[in-house]
Structure 1
Amino acid sequence: MNETKLHDLIEKMTLEEKAAQMSQVVSSFIHKGSSDEKITGPFAGMEVANEDMTGSGSVLGATGADNLRTIQKAYLERSRLGIPLLFMADVIHGYKTVFPVPLALGCTWDPKAVEESAAIAAKESAAAGLHVTFSPMVDLVRDPRWGRVMESTGEDPYLNGVLARALVRGYQGDDLKNDQSKLAACVKHFAAYGAPEGGRDYNTVDMSRRQLMEYYLPAYEAALDEGAELVMTAFNTVEGIPATSNKWLMRDLLRKEMGFDGVLISDWGAVQEAIPHGVAADNRDAALKAVTAGLDIEMMTPCYVQHLKTLVEENVISEALLDEAVLRILKLKNKLGLFENPYRGADTELEETVMLSETHRKAARETAAKSCVLLKNEGVLPLRKSQNVALIGPFAESTDLMGPWSIFGEEKDVVSVRTGMTEKLDTEPAVEKGCDIEAVLPEQLEAAVEAAKQAEVVVLALGEHSEMSGEAGSRTNIKLPDAQLQLVAEVKKLGKPLVTVLFNGRPLDLHGVVDESNAVLEAWYPGTEAGHAVADLLFGDTNPSGKLTMSFPHNVGQVPVYYNSFNTGRPKDQIDPEDRFASKYLDAPNGPLFPFGFGLSYTTFTYSSLALSSEVMEENGTIRVSVNVQNTGAVAGEETVQMYVRDLVGEVVRPVKELKGFSKIHLEPGETKQVVFEVDEESLKYHHSDLTYTCDAGEFIVSVGPDSRNTEEGRFSYSPAGRSGQE
Structure 2
Amino acid sequence: MKKEDLKALLADMSLQEKADQMMQLMGLFYLDDAEGVLTGPARELGVGEEDFWMTGSILGTYGAEQLMAIQKKYMEKQPHHIPMLFMMDVIHGLKTVFPMPLAQGATFEPELSGRCAQAAAREAAVSGLHVTFSPMVDLVRDARWGRVMESTGEDPYLNGLFAKAQVEGFQGDDIGKPYKVCSCVKHFAAYGGAWAGRDYNTVELTEHTLREFYLPPYKAAIDAGVGMVMTSFNTVNGIPASTNRWLMRDILRDEMGFDGVLISDFSAILETVAHGNSADEADAAKKALEAGVDIDMMTSVYAANLCRLVEEGKVSEALIDESVMRILELKNKLGLFENPYKDANPEEEKTVILCDEHRKLAKEAAGKCFVLLKNDGLLPVDMSKKVAFVGPYTNCKEIISSWAVTGDVNACVSIEEAAREVFDLTRTTFHQGCQMLDNDYHLTGFGNLGESVPGKLSEEEQKKMFEEAVEAAKKADLVIMPIGEHFLQTGEAASRAMIDVPEIQMNLFREVSKVNENIVVVLFNGRPLDLRELSKTAKAVLDVWLPGTEGGHAIVDALTGKINPSGKLPMSFPYCVGQVPVHYNEYSTGRPNLEGMQERFKSKYIDIPNAPLYPFGYGLSYTDFEISPVTLSGDVVTDVQPIRACVTVKNTGKVEGTEVIQLYIQDVAASVVRPVKELKRFEKVKLCPGEEKKAEFIIDEEMLRFLRADGTVGSEEGKFRVWIGNSSNTKNEAVFSYQK
Shorter-chain TM-score: which interval?
over 0.9
- What is the CA RMSD across the aligned residues, in angstroms? 1.5
Query: What aligned pairs does 1:161-176 form with structure 2 within 5 A after superposition?
Result: 161-176=160-175
- Residues 50/456 of structure 1: CA separation in 2 closer, same or farther (3 Å cut): farther
**Residues 1:521 and 2:520 are matched in the alignment:** no
Q: What amino acid maps onto 2:539 in structure 1? A: N
Q: What amino acid maps onto 2:114 in structure 1? A: E
Tell me the alpha carbon deviations over residues 447-473 of structure 1, each in whole angstroms, 9 at most, x when there is no partner: 111111121110101011111010000
**Whole-angstrom distance in 2 between the partners of 1:83 and 1:609:** 63
Deviation at 1:437, TM superposition (A): 1.8
**Whole-angstrom distance in 1 between the partners of 2:590 and 2:46:** 54
Query: What aligned pairs does 1:273-352 form with structure 2 within 5 A after superposition?
Result: 273-352=271-350
**Whole-angstrom distance in 2 between the partners of 1:98 and 1:28:** 23
**Whole-angstrom distance in 2 between the partners of 1:53 and 1:658:** 50
Equivalent residue number for residue 713 of structure 1: 733
Unaligned runs of 5+ in 1: 38-42, 721-727
**Whole-angstrom distance in 2 between the partners of 1:13 and 1:362:** 48
From 214, 231, 237, the equivalent of 1:239 is 237
Equivalent position SS for 1:315: coil
- Is the 2:28–2:60 Cα contact (8 Å) retained in structure 1? no
- Is the 1:160–1:219 Cα contact (8 Å) retained in structure 2? yes
Equivalent residue number for residue 17 of structure 1: 17
- Is the 1:30–1:53 Cα contact (8 Å) retained in structure 2? no
**Whole-angstrom distance in 1 between the partners of 2:147 and 2:42:** 22
Determine what percentage of the aligned residue pairs are the same residue: 52
TM-score by length of 1: 0.96
- Is the 1:636–1:666 Cα contact (8 Å) retained in structure 2? yes
Equivalent position SS for 2:191: coil
- Residues 44/105 of structure 1: CA separation in 2 closer, same or farther (3 Å cut): farther
Tell me the alpha carbon deviations over residues 286-308 of structure 1, each in whole angstroms, 9 at most, x when there is no partner: 10110011000000011101000
Query: What aligned pairs does 1:489-528 form with structure 2 within 5 A after superposition?
Result: 489-528=510-549
From 401, 404, 409, the equivalent of 1:403 is 401
Equivalent residue number for residue 40 of structure 1: none
Q: What amino acid maps onto 1:537 in structure 2? A: A
Deviation at 1:48, TM superposition (A): 5.1
From 602, 605, 624, the equivalent of 1:604 is 624
**Whole-angstrom distance in 2 between the partners of 1:303 and 1:438:** 40
- Residues 139/87 of structure 1: CA separation in 2 closer, same or farther (3 Å cut): same
Deviation at 1:44, TM superposition (A): 12
- Is the 2:473–2:516 Cα contact (8 Å) retained in structure 1? no
**Residues 1:640 and 2:639 are matched in the alignment:** no
Deviation at 1:619, TM superposition (A): 2.0
Deviation at 1:646, TM superposition (A): 0.3
Deviation at 1:618, TM superposition (A): 1.5
Tell me the alpha carbon deviations over residues 588-644 of structure 1, each in whole angstroms, 9 at most, x when there is no partner: 110100000000000011000421111011123211111100000000011110000
Which moved further from structure 2: 310-319 or 240-249? 310-319
Equivalent residue number for residue 488 of structure 1: 509
- Is the 1:104–1:526 Cα contact (8 Å) retained in structure 2? yes
Deviation at 1:513, TM superposition (A): 1.1
Deviation at 1:574, TM superposition (A): 4.2
Which moved further from structure 2: 630-639 or 608-617? 608-617
Deviation at 1:690, TM superposition (A): 2.6
Q: What amino acid maps onto 2:266 in structure 1? A: W
**Whole-angstrom distance in 1 between the partners of 2:497 and 2:565:** 30
Tell me the alpha carbon deviations over residues 59-109 of structure 1, each in whole angstroms, 9 at most, x when there is no partner: 101100001100000001111101100000000000100000000000000
Deviation at 1:27, TM superposition (A): 1.6
Q: What amino acid maps onto 1:375 in structure 2? A: L
From 488, 494, 510, the equivalent of 1:473 is 494
**Whole-angstrom distance in 2 between the partners of 1:247 and 1:546:** 40
- Is the 2:478–2:516 Cα contact (8 Å) retained in structure 1? no
Q: What amino acid maps onto 1:716 in structure 2? A: F
Query: What aligned pairs does 1:446-595 form with structure 2 within 5 A after superposition?
Result: 446-576=467-597, 579-595=599-615
**Residues 1:617 and 2:637 are matched in the alignment:** yes
- Is the 2:138–2:192 Cα contact (8 Å) retained in structure 1? yes
Q: What amino acid maps onto 2:374 in structure 1? A: K
Query: What aligned pairs does 1:148-187 form with structure 2 within 5 A after superposition?
Result: 148-177=147-176, 179-187=177-185
Tell me the alpha carbon deviations over residues 536-569 of structure 1, each in whole angstroms, 9 at most, x when there is no partner: 1000001000000000001000111110011210
Q: What amino acid maps onto 1:668 in structure 2? A: C
- Is the 1:388–1:427 Cα contact (8 Å) retained in structure 2? no
- Residues 381/414 of structure 1: CA separation in 2 closer, same or farther (3 Å cut): same
Equivalent position SS for 1:476: coil
Equivalent position SS for 1:493: helix
Equivalent position SS for 1:645: strand
Equivalent residue number for residue 8 of structure 2: 8
Deviation at 1:53, TM superposition (A): 2.6
Q: What amino acid maps onto 2:399 in structure 1? A: L
Deviation at 1:411, TM superposition (A): 0.9
**Whole-angstrom distance in 1 between the partners of 2:607 and 2:323:** 55
- Is the 2:639–2:700 Cα contact (8 Å) retained in structure 1? no
**Residues 1:272 and 2:270 are matched in the alignment:** yes
Deviation at 1:47, TM superposition (A): 2.4
Query: What aligned pairs does 1:65-464 form with structure 2 within 5 A after superposition?
Result: 65-177=64-176, 179-427=177-425, 429-439=428-438, 441-464=462-485
Deviation at 1:511, TM superposition (A): 2.2
Equivalent position SS for 1:567: coil
- Is the 1:489–1:512 Cα contact (8 Å) retained in structure 2? no
- Is the 1:102–1:153 Cα contact (8 Å) retained in structure 2? yes
Deviation at 1:50, TM superposition (A): 6.8
**Whole-angstrom distance in 1 between the partners of 2:387 and 2:334:** 53
**Whole-angstrom distance in 2 between the partners of 1:24 and 1:544:** 43
Which moved further from structure 2: 497-506 or 23-32? 23-32
Equivalent residue number for residue 725 of structure 1: none
- Is the 1:488–1:512 Cα contact (8 Å) retained in structure 2? no
Equivalent position SS for 2:367: helix
**Whole-angstrom distance in 2 between the partners of 1:289 and 1:703:** 47
Q: What amino acid maps onto 2:615 in structure 1? A: P
Equivalent position SS for 2:322: helix
**Whole-angstrom distance in 2 between the partners of 1:320 and 1:630:** 63
Deviation at 1:30, TM superposition (A): 4.1
Q: How many residues align?
A: 711
Deviation at 1:484, TM superposition (A): 1.1
**Whole-angstrom distance in 1 between the partners of 2:43 and 2:640:** 57
Tell me the alpha carbon deviations over residues 403-430 of structure 1, each in whole angstroms, 9 at most, x when there is no partner: 1210111011000011111112122631
Which moved further from structure 2: 47-56 or 120-129? 47-56
Deviation at 1:682, TM superposition (A): 1.4
- Is the 2:29–2:42 Cα contact (8 Å) retained in structure 1? no
Q: What amino acid maps onto 2:215 in structure 1? A: L
- Is the 1:30–1:56 Cα contact (8 Å) retained in structure 2? no
Deviation at 1:647, TM superposition (A): 0.2
Equivalent position SS for 1:675: strand
**Whole-angstrom distance in 2 between the partners of 1:123 and 1:575:** 58
- Is the 1:553–1:592 Cα contact (8 Å) retained in structure 2? yes
**Whole-angstrom distance in 1 between the partners of 2:386 and 2:735:** 52
Deviation at 1:361, TM superposition (A): 0.4
**Whole-angstrom distance in 2 between the partners of 1:482 and 1:511:** 14
Tell me the alpha carbon deviations over residues 321-380 of structure 1, each in whole angstroms, 9 at most, x when there is no partner: 000000000000000000000010001111011111111101100110100100000000
Which moved further from structure 2: 140-149 or 444-453? 444-453
Equivalent residue number for residue 723 of structure 1: none
